[in-house]
Amino acid sequence: MIGVFDSGFGGLTVLEALLKKIPQYDYLYLGDNARAPYGGRSQETIYEYTREAVDFLFREGCTLVVLACNTASAQALRKIQTEYLPKKYPGRNVLGVIRPLVEAVANNQKIKRVGVIGTRATIESQAYEHELKKINPNLEIFSQSAPLLVPLIEEGWQSKPETKRILKKYLQPLKIKQIDSLILGCTHYPILYADICRIMTRRCQVYHPGEIIADSLKNYIDRHPKYKINESKNPQRIFFTSDSSRRFFDFAKKFVKVEIGDIRKISIQTK
């Protein structure tokens, strides 16, 4: 079973892409909606919340976990991979969403100037800048935090004119830099994908995170055959939220093409 974790609803955009690309696996989705958004929290808090989520998913039977959250990937993934997993869960793995997007952009020789938009925590971590420079040191990188977008999306305000004005204000500094490509450094942002593409115009390539991440995970599983043992003839889709299951269902039904069955409200906090 593959676990997919996000601090809120945004990871559903990743799950939607995974179900299209590799539907033969069982998936367990966990949204820590009660404590979302993570973007304005300290690195220590983000790590503890993410570690608790990883614990929960592994206890529920997942053998591989995808952090479908840029903030968690930027602030917690490395420590979990290098320190926590070897001691607590040897033989299992946790993957993030930053590396796949970085590889897609940095390996495109036509791209010289890159913009990154994300939560405050993701941008302050400079995770995208570091990873992009590792692959292509010649890239010019411009980053912009957009702290209001996740709360607006979580409140269902993505279509309101106020949100469109705020989005335009966040993107304008990157547009002025005449970037060739824009990285959406938050899995919530694909919900605003059409508006982002319209504002940035056709001269700027905007990769869809879910599609890139799904391709990357498929390649990872192909290279690690032990995960293919978990293919299912009747794949399960299980959903957990730390907040209102009704609100989770309403959001999912409106914004992603994922069949949502039973949603269980749980507490992932550990003592």
Binding residue per annotation — 187?
yes
List residues with catalytic annotation.
Answer: 69, 186
Binding residue per annotation — 70?
yes
Binding residue per annotation — 195?
no
C-alpha torsion sign, points 41, 47, 53, 57: positive
Beta-sheet strand order (sheet of 237-241)? 93-95, 64-67, 2-6, 27-31, 237-241, 263-265
Core vs surface per residue 196-205: b (16+ CB within 10 A) or e: beebbeeebb
Binding residue per annotation — 39?
yes
Binding residue per annotation — 243?
no
| Helix, strand, coil distribution of the chain in percent, nearest 5 | 50, 15, 30
Binding residue per annotation — 122?
no
Binding residue per annotation — 38?
yes
- Residues in the annotated binding site: 6-7, 38-39, 70-71, 187-188
- Residues in the annotated binding site for substrate: 6-7, 38-39, 70-71, 187-188
